[in-house]
Amino acid sequence: MSNLKRVLITGSSRGLGKAMAVYLAKLGYEIVLNYNHNKEAAEETLELIRPLCPKASVLQFDVSNRKEVAEVIEKDIKEKGAYYGVILNAGINADNPFPLLEEEEWDKVLHTDLDGFYNVLKPIVMPMVEERIHGRIITISSISGLIGNRGQVNYSAAKAGIIGASKALAIELAKHKITVNCVAPGIIESDMTKDLPIDEIKRIIPMRRMGKPEEVAALIGFLLSKEASYITRQVISVNGGMI
């Protein structure tokens, strides 16, 4: 695989994004890490993958800040060329029962998780098309976006929106041989799930265990591959059989 195949992973300083970065670096992709606040974690991930990916780099931006995202990504593309792949992994949650859900909890989750789709992809898509890169766009939704979840009306709305946006964009980009697919993880071991009642959760998962970040990363790796060139507009779940 050519190391010219650059892949941007948003929210990749730790957790699922970090697992993706490590897995894809092993496959030979040139990884572009993104972080917002945790510079130390991003640098640790960078050092971890550098032996596998000497040209790995880091971009700092907040996916909810449209102007900042555009400036950083446009500068990177101008200097190094369009991306081959983009993985929209950055996201947050702010859980609360709907009657108690505050305006800022709704706005912050929607601005980060859903607006990030537009903010990140807007400056990326046309360079892909113009350079005739048969690229890969992979968005990260959630089981909450497929079936909803109590206490997560805001998060479920954002993740369901990502599914709809991904399907629509897939139609637009298919003629350019750019695929757009959505991955919907179930309950995966991460910082976001570390405080959940694990024993109770396992009872609702047919496989009776939580997923591992590497299991999601493996699917991402396949969707980026040449072998996945005829797969687009799909939502693929990694959830141990929950739905």
Strand partners, 236: 183
Pairing verdict, β 85-88 and 6-9: parallel
pLDDT value for 4: 64
Nearest to 213 by CA among 9, 2, 39, 18: 18
Please give the structure tokens belonging to residue 131. 């350079």
pLDDT value for 2: 41
**146-200 tens-digit pLDDT:** 999 999 999 999 999 999 999 999 999 999 999 999 999 999 987 767 777 888 8
pLDDT value for 3: 43
Given the structure tokens 């060329």, which residue do they identify? 81
Question: Residue 128 and residue 82: Cα distance in Å, rounded?
Answer: 6
Listed by start position, the domains of the chain span 6-238
pLDDT value for 218: 98
Q: Taking a C-beta distance cutoff of 8 angstroms, is the pair 114, 154 a contact? A: no
pTM of the model: 0.95
Residues annotated as catalytic are 155
**Dihedral-angle region of residue 124 (phi above 0 means left; psi in -120 to 50 means alpha; beta otherwise):** alpha
Q: Which residues of the chain have pLDDT under 50?
A: 1-3
The answer regarding whether domain 6-238 maps to CATH 3.40.50.720 reads yes
